[in-house]
Chains A and B, each alone.
Chain A
């Protein structure tokens, strides 16, 4: 803490302003945090990738060329489409070939061959299958697609002929937002209960802490399993989704409550807080002006690093069949198809949703790491 930045920041008027207003000495706290964050190379990679993933999820109906439940007749277990370039004059026009199905004479496995005389250019912003936006109005615009007669399956198809790319993109909506939702609920409970525990202290604190100890002592996955087994199978997708978010946050809030309480306890009796109290600052003033800014950054870091755990939790639950249910789509549901690893030898593309999970978790960890470095911009 006793770095040169600190000392100079205390007496800015003594400094010559030759560096201009952009020098470190004159930067606001927010600017300092951003500068420190941006110095973390991996975080610099993580932020735009996460942004792109979330954008893809939000506009998933538009990005996906097909509906998640529509079947491409006669294209069971088809491999990813190969994209070629160059139609007529335009050398950059991408196109796919129509594909013909035949069967292997011995194994009866499907074989798809490209019909090289039938070129189907890929069009952008095309009309296709209709989808609803927020249940309000209907739209049929898609980012890309091909004309009737052929199809484009970027990630191949599954065992009932559904386009895996469309399903992955639309599944992102569930998988990515389950983390945000779970963290939001954990955040409310964690702050509330941790705050009460740390601020009141005494017997209330003791009881709350013991309850948290108990909850932490129950192994996470079995607890999640029991709770999600309690979700009725016949519930609509949206209800199941909401229930899973709550199940995930039941474990999540305990860690956060501990952070909040620990920070409150350590800050409560520091000199500047006591001084503010003696000077007549009200509780609300002290909490919002002194306490909150001091641990908000740590809270954000804890929250960011909690999201990947929840995404993994949803994936694991859906994978063993007690999370999201068909017709709901999430990355965990999609990975159920990989359980038969013998089939994977012939259809490795079914692992692609797994790649999305890994990338998402990685990026969250990168950003979380960068935020941790940036959380205390005054340290060296």
Chain B
């Protein structure tokens, strides 16, 4: 077991290096660079940009050098100082020249809160319903959950967010945007602020959780149905085990496997999924920053976020693989 973990971590290192390169390369794909579009923008406003200023900016962002030099400088600063570079200010002037790591740390809490609360909601709803649907196949509840599941799969997240906002706005005249009401937006954390957050957080959670719940109910139901038809279940029943113990002792445990094997993908998937929703709901999460950074070629900011998300996925996959071996003794890696 230890050997397997050591081997996997060993493979992980070159993959992480490759991933950082890919992240760096793909953000260079769009034509032009940040500086040239920045200069264009200033000129369109009728401002004159002198050569010295351009040279100074080029120096500051390290843009003049060849790509490989830029990459190695970025990586060296990251490994030695934990410095991911600075933002070019694509996302508003308050982020101009701000260290990328600070921006990510500033945005991380809201992202984590929404992701974690959504995940808990998804599990709390989907797992019991999935188990119920499988044990009561073709019952009214089963059909209902299948129906809700399909609808959840079919509505694009951003459309769902718009529809909820529209309904809330039409009914109450109150626009649910942001995680906090105005008076709490810059206040320090307190009980009142948390209560205020709970009043607003349900919209993104509802939107993100619906899609997740739909998928998970289907997985849980299908897995459990597979298990319930196996012979060991028949044997256990024939031997007089109570239905309750029969269900919980093995089939449910085994049906959990796919959930554990994808646990590592939750955070990156949530950040990917919430990006659009956050733009519509005006949430202070990582998603909208990533989108504008990508569009405006704020390369250190975009590259760092993509690299961190991808790294999390790789590490998450490793963790869930290990968890799977630990959880299900039948699974062996060799």
Inter-chain CA distance A315–B162, complex, in Å, is 14
**Of all chain A residues, which has the CB nearest B170?**
A345
Contact call A335/B166, Cβ cutoff below 8 A: no
A185 on interface, CB distance cutoff 8 Å: no
Known contacts A230-B30, A365-B153: A214-B280 contact under CB 8 Å:
no
A226 on interface, CB distance cutoff 8 Å: yes
Contact call A344/B19, Cβ cutoff below 8 A: no
**Of all chain B residues, which has the CB nearest A322?**
B295
Contact call B29/A230, Cβ cutoff below 8 A: yes
B-chain residues with CB within 8 Å of residue A102 when the two chains form the complex: none
B309 on interface, CB distance cutoff 8 Å: yes
B290 on interface, CB distance cutoff 8 Å: yes
Comparing B115-123, B242-250, B269-277, the segment that makes contact with chain A is: B269-277
Inter-chain CA distance A220–B310, complex, in Å, is 10
Among candidates B27, B31, B314, residue contacting A217 with C-beta atoms closer than 8 Å:
B314
Inter-chain CA distance A319–B276, complex, in Å, is 9
A255 on interface, CB distance cutoff 8 Å: no
Is the interface on chain A under 10, 10 to 19, 20 to 34, or 35 or more residues? 35 or more
B279 on interface, CB distance cutoff 8 Å: yes
Interface centre among A210, A338, A348, A357 (most CB of B within 10 A): A338
Inter-chain CA distance A219–B29, complex, in Å, is 17
Among candidates A217, A226, A312, A348, residue contacting B294 with C-beta atoms closer than 8 Å:
A226
Say how far A280's CB is from chain B's closest CB, in angstroms. Answer: 35
B15 on interface, CB distance cutoff 8 Å: yes
Interface residues of A in 199-226 (CB under 8 A from B): 210, 213-214, 216-223, 225-226
Contact call B159/A345, Cβ cutoff below 8 A: no
B-chain residues with CB within 8 Å of residue A210 when the two chains form the complex: 11, 15
Known contacts A226-B294, A227-B29: A345-B169 contact under CB 8 Å:
yes
Say how far A77's CB is from chain B's closest CB, in angstroms. Answer: 16
Inter-chain CA distance A288–B138, complex, in Å, is 39
Among candidates A217, A308, A344, A365, residue contacting B166 with C-beta atoms closer than 8 Å:
A344
A320 on interface, CB distance cutoff 8 Å: yes
Is the interface on chain B under 10, 10 to 19, 20 to 34, or 35 or more residues? 35 or more
A-chain residues with CB within 8 Å of residue B31 when the two chains form the complex: 230, 232
A229 on interface, CB distance cutoff 8 Å: yes
Say how far A304's CB is from chain B's closest CB, in angstroms. Answer: 14
Interface centre among B158, B163, B175, B271 (most CB of A within 10 A): B158
B-chain residues with CB within 8 Å of residue A308 when the two chains form the complex: 153-154
Contact call A225/B291, Cβ cutoff below 8 A: yes
Inter-chain CA distance A362–B151, complex, in Å, is 7
Among candidates B153, B159, B276, B291, residue contacting A354 with C-beta atoms closer than 8 Å:
B159
B-chain residues with CB within 8 Å of residue A358 when the two chains form the complex: 151, 154-155, 159
Contact call B279/A357, Cβ cutoff below 8 A: no
A371 on interface, CB distance cutoff 8 Å: no
Interface residues of A in 307-342 (CB under 8 A from B): 308, 312, 315-316, 319-320, 322, 335, 338-339, 341-342
A-chain residues with CB within 8 Å of residue B276 when the two chains form the complex: 221, 316, 319-320
Inter-chain CA distance A308–B275, complex, in Å, is 20
Contact call A341/B154, Cβ cutoff below 8 A: no
Q: Which 8 A-B pairs have the closest CB atoms?
A: A361-B154, A219-B272, A230-B29, A221-B272, A217-B313, A362-B154, A230-B30, A344-B166
Please name 10 pairs of A and B residues whose Cβ atoms are closer than 8 Å in the assembled complex, sorted by A: A210-B15, A218-B306, A219-B272, A222-B275, A225-B291, A338-B166, A339-B162, A341-B165, A354-B159, A361-B155
